[in-house]
Amino acid sequence: MAQKRNTLGRGLDALLSMDEIKTDGSSSINEIEISKISVNPNQPRREFNQEALEELASSISEIGIIQPITLRELSLDRYQIIAGERRFRASQLAGLKSIPAYIRKASDENVLEMALIENIQREDLNAIEVALAYQHLIEEYDLTQERLSERVGKKRATIANYVRLLKLPAPIQVALQHRQIDMGHARALLPLENPKLQIKLLKDIIKNNYSVRKVEEIVKDLNAGEELSSGKKKQNAQLPEEFNILKQHLSGFFNTKVQLTCSSKGKGKISIPFGNEEELERIIEIFDSLKK
């Protein structure tokens, strides 16, 4: 398996020779009419920057296509893109009538795998596009995350982290797609169970340019009972004096930093944090002793 994963650093051509991806056919370059080529509807890349396409089209007009695209033959004189849709689109803008291409034989599953890996190696996909592509492969071809990790040369934990992003509310996924936040921010939001709170914190991340570490600290405080207000957690000093006395008393009783929040209407909650299983067992023992 290690040998297969090492091929990833050598690009798509090395990938196509892997035993896991069985693609028979000629590796010679063919000149294919653009009108006979269609895009892959399951292409993992969803967005193409128009300005970048125009720049590439200008370059193609000047010096032509440096790297051929990769196609598979659907039927006589009909082809589908495996890799190189950006070059294909730019060639259309440049007014080319044909484009150099490798012709490969590949199944639908292998086509998606190849397109996914080529884009990941070029870092062309945003995190949500990668997550959707992984999820599509898992569902469409009944793969486990472990099996998929073997096929695409990524650790299973990496695939799991991407797929988990799809559990986030749509506004967070959109922000990740538009690169308003990075994957670290998105992952830090996952432990929050309240979608509204996740979205509220997202706005604060963008507004205040929070680091991932800062977001992790805020989420930890929120899960410990703090409240989020205007991008900042409410300070316990705002609690009435009698509540602060109660909070201190409980903290001393449980020998941990008890969190206590209270609204203006008198509603609130008490949270008793613990750092590990031993601390949890100690707190449970205290509660058990109170029953005697």
281 has pLDDT over 90: no
Mean residue pLDDT of the chain comes to: 78
Same domain, 103 and 124: no
Q: Is 261 helix (H, G, I), strand (E, B) or coil?
A: strand
Short-list 291, 286, 249, 241, CA closest to 270: 249
> Per residue in 99-128, pLDDT tens?
999 887 766 667 666 666 666 655 567 888
62 is catalytic: no
Query: Which of 274 and 98 is assigned the larger pLDDT?
Result: 98
Same domain, 129 and 76: no
- Residue 6 in domain: no
Neighbours of 111 (CB within 10 A): 23
- Residue 160 in domain: yes
Short-list 112, 42, 19, 36, CA closest to 78: 36
Q: What is the CATH number of the domain that holds 149?
A: 1.10.10.2830
pTM summary value: 0.52
- Residue 86 in domain: yes
- Residue 139 in domain: yes
State the Cα–Cα distance between residues 291 and 248, nearest whole angstrom: 22
The β-bridge partners of 232 are: 229
- Residue 66 in domain: yes
Name residue, tokens 């977001």: 215
Same domain, 147 and 208: no
* Token output for 239: 């609690």
Which of 5-19, 21-35, 52-66, 159-173 reaches the highest mean pLDDT? Answer: 159-173
pLDDT of the residue at 234: 44
Short-list 227, 279, 237, 226, CA closest to 254: 279
Same domain, 96 and 121: no
- Residue 172 in domain: no
Same domain, 196 and 249: no
Same domain, 132 and 190: no
Task: Give the active site residue among 47, 55, 73, 85.
Answer: 85
88 has pLDDT over 60: yes
The one-letter code for the residue type at 237 is: A
pLDDT of the residue at 139: 81
- Residue 57 in domain: yes
Q: Which domain holds residue 243?
A: 239-273
Same domain, 61 and 82: yes
> Per residue in 223-268, pLDDT tens?
877 767 544 444 444 566 777 788 888 888 888 888 777 766 666 7
Q: Is 50 helix (H, G, I), strand (E, B) or coil?
A: helix
End residue of a domain, out of 107, 131, 151: 107
92 has pLDDT over 70: yes
Same domain, 35 and 102: yes
pLDDT of the residue at 278: 80
pLDDT of the residue at 176: 92
- Residue 97 in domain: yes
Q: Is 125 helix (H, G, I), strand (E, B) or coil?
A: coil
Three-state SS across 54-84?
A: HHHHHHHHHHCCCCCEEEEEEECCEEEEEEC
Q: Could you give the dihedral angle defined by the CA atoms of residues 37, 39, 41 and 45, in that order, rounded to the nearest 10 degrees?
A: 160
> Per residue in 158-206, pLDDT tens?
999 999 999 999 999 999 988 899 999 999 999 998 999 999 999 999 9
Count structural domains, the chain: 4
